[in-house]
Amino acid sequence: MLPRKMNRKTKRLIERIAVTVILLIAVILCSIYVLAPALGLSDQFQIGDDGGFHIGRIQTLADDIETGQFPDKMYMSMSAGYGYPAGIMYPDLFLYPFAFLRILGLPLL
């Protein structure tokens, strides 16, 4: 409890700080719950409806970079080896770091 001689501004400040700390703790706990699979705290990883397609994009991008095809617009390993032009419909910029990690031998999931 707060002492009686504290003025109103100080009491409001302490109350605001307390509310802010409680909200911050709630956000951190929710974030840990949501990010637990990605952080390795859980063995379940939800990849969604088209997650397999995008995981395949990273693998195909890594395969094509290893064969010397850069920049890669036609993913030759997709669609049973016929290729698929996913590189012209989806940007690859954010996939290149993961493709290079895949080339270094790290698993996709």
Mean pLDDT of the chain: 82
| Farthest-apart Cα atoms in the chain, separation | 79
Which H or E run includes 86? none
Scanning the structure block, which residue is given the tokens 């036609």?
74
Per residue in 96-108, pLDDT (tens digit) is 898 999 999 888 7
| pLDDT in the model for residue 106 | 84
**Strand partners of residue 84:** 75
Per residue in 44-83, pLDDT (tens digit) is 666 677 778 888 888 888 888 888 887 777 887 777 878 8
